[in-house]
Structure 1
Amino acid sequence: MTGQYGDSTRSVKAVASEHVPGQPIASPPVPVSAYHLSADESEPLDSYGRSSNPTWRQLESALAALEGATTALSFGSGMAAITAVLRVLAGPGTALVVPADGYYQVRRYAAEYLAPLGVDVREVSAADMCEAAGSADVVLAETPINPTLDVVDLHRLAMTCRSRGATLVVDNTASTPLGQQPLSLGADLVVASATKALSGHGDLLAGYVAGNHPEHMAAVERERLLAGAILGPFEAWLALRSLGSAGLRVERQCHNAMAMALMLREHPVVRSVRYPGLPDDPAHQVACHQMKRFGGLVSFELADADAVHRLVARSNLLVAATSFGGIHTSLDRRARWGDPVPAGFARMSLGIEDTDDLVSDVATALG
């Protein structure tokens, strides 16, 4: 029966502590930098705060359960998780494919830090990812792509990588493990920012890596130990606390996203709309095959930058913010960050407000 649980049940069970009478149901954080050592000098489970923490382990166990992984490792941010994986996998002389139309900081890191070390960095659009994987050693795919919301066919990409012997890493931030399971589709590793929908309250930064290959995960854990890109115990506790309600929040966010996409598609001032859940979206067919839910992000284009700013100013519910996945609906004009999109292109992250209130507010604010 366990494999048939719904996402809210899975989320609650993932964060549940052991059923021990007299012990707290919600585990407290363990803020510690050093532990008592014994005379037995074999390496203990806990010795120093940079190498291990009980609160990490509970969070990592929950993340692994949700991703369908044997192991997960927490990091201080999503970028810390991604860069640790890239440092482990992409050495001098390797060919690395990164999304040309995905999160811009990944491209910057690859170009500024990996390329000078002798890594052959190739920026490839979502549409060309499968073809480019045929001559790569490491492929980092992001799907749905942030912010255009194109979808990469993960099963096809995994088959291409496997035939080449390439390692496939999938950024699952936009979808979350409640919307998509990259490991089950053939990915070797999953990376994600838990800052977004999994934590969902805009009060912490966190990232993680999940996988089923012991050698990959051991190498990433060693990199985390040496580089020190760890998650603080309080942040781990906040993420663990938030994870229990992720099923409810993601379900409402996805419901709101579909309703908003349908309204925006019909609004006369909106030039175009992207949402994988729309039947006429270019990514819909692939999304239906690999996504359980279509996510809480909607992208659309208005006339220009001023039109985006006016929308936020006129709305009673929209928050101008660059992160996404929170309980508040937010809007971000992506060209301001250097994304190769039109000036009036906006990414909306749907929150958990009542659907009718939210759609009515945005429709009125659009004019």
Structure 2
Amino acid sequence: MTDETLAATLLHLRAKGLEKGAPVVAPVEMASMFHLPGDPAGVPGYGRMDNATWAALEAALGHLEQAPALAFPSGMGAISAALFACLSAGDRILVPTDGYYTTRLLGDQFLKALGVEMVLRDTARFDEGGFDGFRLVFLETPSNPGLELCDIAAAAEKVHAAGGLLVVDNTTMTPLGQRPLDLGADIVVASDTKAPNGHSDLLMGHVATRDEALLARIKDWRKLAGGIPGPFEAWLTLRGLETLELRLSRMVASAEAIAGRLAEHPAVSDLRYPGMSNHPALKQMAHGGFLISFTLESEAVAERFITTCPLIQPATSFGGVHTSAERRARWGDAVAPGFVRLSVGIEPLETLWSAMAEALPGARA
């Protein structure tokens, strides 16, 4: 099914089997208790285990992933569930050095204490050294914040040959830009805080897998650990998903144009935009995404660019309707002090570029 078909049918997903007089939009179910006389089997029983608004969101996410999905209260909630449900003492896990740093912190501060060994490897050289001895391989492509690429299908084949599981963090691309499960991944995780919701007003994440045993294990983890999403946040995410394709089309088109212009600017170095790469992994992506990274001369120059441009929101995270940017070195990422991660929003392209050009070093007064 094409991305366009997925996006179109998502808007009418709830209409299937809808009874006459029922609301077109899924209602928010605010309940911790349910009417439960007699045998509790087969009906909602308690708010930590069941919620109709979660179910509606999971149906929408599952439609986009073309696989069963489970919602979590943040992207890290989804990552934690996938890792803790799959790992045991004595296992080894491979994690990218240049992916989202909190995943590494989780491994170092918590998994290690439970007897899980974490090994680090750069995304660009992820398959060098092989995958023998790893229970789980965790991959992020394009990586955040460096936007390095890795061939998911090739990695999946090698990981499976070595007897491991491949988990792919697909936050930077969304299911409308890349579907790791179709490429052989066992589990996909993502932060729906970013583009899927798109309005920078909530935290949400999800896990998707076509492996029934893994799905059951992760669902049990959520139920027992209590990492559940709020129903109102689930409803807002569901609403955001309905405009995901529309927002992405503007964001990606603008990012492609802006990346090309930044690449020619004398103040910009080490520009990275996946759509301008000739990497073999581009074949797995529907587009180049909406994230751009580049380096300016120094920390001061980068901060001045970010804070003086009236159409750039200085903020962490990405994928919202507002164009935003930050220096990732401030969080400890192994990047230059002047490294900037730019998330392109939905502002009109020429107006956005004019504001950026004025804020870049060398602009005429």
The two structures have a TM-score, normalised by structure 1, of 0.95
Task: Report Cα offsets for 1:159-213 as digits up to 9, x if no partner.
Answer: 0011011000000000000000100000000000000000000011001000100
Secondary structure of the corresponding residue to residue 216 of structure 2: helix
> Quick check: 1:296 aligned with 2:290?
yes
2:200 matched residue in structure 1: 202
Residue among 175, 178, 182 paired with 1:177 = 175
The answer (yes or no) to whether the contact 1:73–1:221 under 8 Å persists in 2 is: yes
Whole-Å separation in 1 of the counterparts to 2:150 and 2:234: 30
The answer (yes or no) to whether the contact 2:3–2:176 under 8 Å persists in 1 is: no
Partner amino acid for 2:105?
A: R
> Quick check: 1:78 aligned with 2:75?
yes
Secondary structure of the corresponding residue to residue 45 of structure 2: coil
> Quick check: 1:332 aligned with 2:338?
no
After superposition, the Cα gap between the structure-2 partners of 1:14 and 1:327, relative to the gap in structure 1 and judged at 3 Å, is farther
2:121 matched residue in structure 1: 124
> Quick check: 1:222 aligned with 2:199?
no
Whole-Å separation in 2 of the counterparts to 1:101 and 1:17: 43
Partner amino acid for 2:215?
A: M
Shift of 1:334: 0.1
Deviates more, 1:116-125 or 1:144-153: 116-125
> Quick check: 1:102 aligned with 2:76?
no
The answer (yes or no) to whether the contact 1:101–1:146 under 8 Å persists in 2 is: yes
2:305 matched residue in structure 1: 311
After superposition, the Cα gap between the structure-2 partners of 1:14 and 1:149, relative to the gap in structure 1 and judged at 3 Å, is farther
2:232 matched residue in structure 1: 234
Residue among 352, 356, 364 paired with 2:358 = 364
Task: Report Cα offsets for 1:288-345 as digits up to 9, x if no partner.
Answer: 2100111110000001111111112321200001010000000010000000000000
Deviates more, 1:48-57 or 1:4-13: 4-13
After superposition, the Cα gap between the structure-2 partners of 1:273 and 1:11, relative to the gap in structure 1 and judged at 3 Å, is farther
Secondary structure of the corresponding residue to residue 177 of structure 1: coil
Secondary structure of the corresponding residue to residue 196 of structure 2: coil
Shift of 1:38: 2.6
Whole-Å separation in 2 of the counterparts to 1:349 and 1:10: 27
Whole-Å separation in 1 of the counterparts to 2:158 and 2:219: 27
Secondary structure of the corresponding residue to residue 149 of structure 1: coil
Whole-Å separation in 2 of the counterparts to 1:153 and 1:105: 23
After superposition, the Cα gap between the structure-2 partners of 1:335 and 1:3, relative to the gap in structure 1 and judged at 3 Å, is closer
Whole-Å separation in 1 of the counterparts to 2:264 and 2:335: 22
Residue among 47, 50, 69 paired with 1:52 = 50
The answer (yes or no) to whether the contact 2:307–2:314 under 8 Å persists in 1 is: no
After superposition, the Cα gap between the structure-2 partners of 1:321 and 1:7, relative to the gap in structure 1 and judged at 3 Å, is farther
Secondary structure of the corresponding residue to residue 96 of structure 1: strand
Whole-Å separation in 2 of the counterparts to 1:287 and 1:294: 11
After superposition, the Cα gap between the structure-2 partners of 1:242 and 1:165, relative to the gap in structure 1 and judged at 3 Å, is same
Whole-Å separation in 1 of the counterparts to 2:149 and 2:47: 39
The unaligned stretches of length 5 or more in structure 1 are: none
The two structures have a TM-score, normalised by structure 2, of 0.95
2:65 matched residue in structure 1: 67
Whole-Å separation in 1 of the counterparts to 2:350 and 2:262: 14
After superposition, the Cα gap between the structure-2 partners of 1:4 and 1:228, relative to the gap in structure 1 and judged at 3 Å, is closer
Secondary structure of the corresponding residue to residue 169 of structure 1: strand
Deviates more, 1:330-339 or 1:43-52: 43-52
Residue among 268, 271, 281 paired with 1:270 = 268
2:251 matched residue in structure 1: 253
Secondary structure of the corresponding residue to residue 173 of structure 1: coil
After superposition, the Cα gap between the structure-2 partners of 1:4 and 1:256, relative to the gap in structure 1 and judged at 3 Å, is closer
Whole-Å separation in 2 of the counterparts to 1:264 and 1:239: 32
After superposition, the Cα gap between the structure-2 partners of 1:226 and 1:127, relative to the gap in structure 1 and judged at 3 Å, is same
Shift of 1:358: 1.1
Shift of 1:14: 4.4
Shift of 1:128: 2.7
Shift of 1:68: 1.6
After superposition, the Cα gap between the structure-2 partners of 1:210 and 1:22, relative to the gap in structure 1 and judged at 3 Å, is same
CA RMSD of superposed structures (Å): 1.4
Shift of 1:16: 5.1
Residue among 220, 236, 244 paired with 2:242 = 244
Whole-Å separation in 2 of the counterparts to 1:211 and 1:238: 23
Which runs of 4 or more aligned residues in structure 1 lie more than 6 Å from their structure 2 counterparts after TM superposition? none
Residue among 112, 115, 118 paired with 2:109 = 112
Number of residue pairs aligned between Structure 1 and Structure 2: 360
Shift of 1:7: 5.0
The answer (yes or no) to whether the contact 1:15–1:59 under 8 Å persists in 2 is: no
Q: Percentage identity across aligned positions?
A: 43
Task: Report Cα offsets for 1:37-80 as digits up to 9, x if no partner.
Answer: 032x14233110000100000100110110121x1100010001
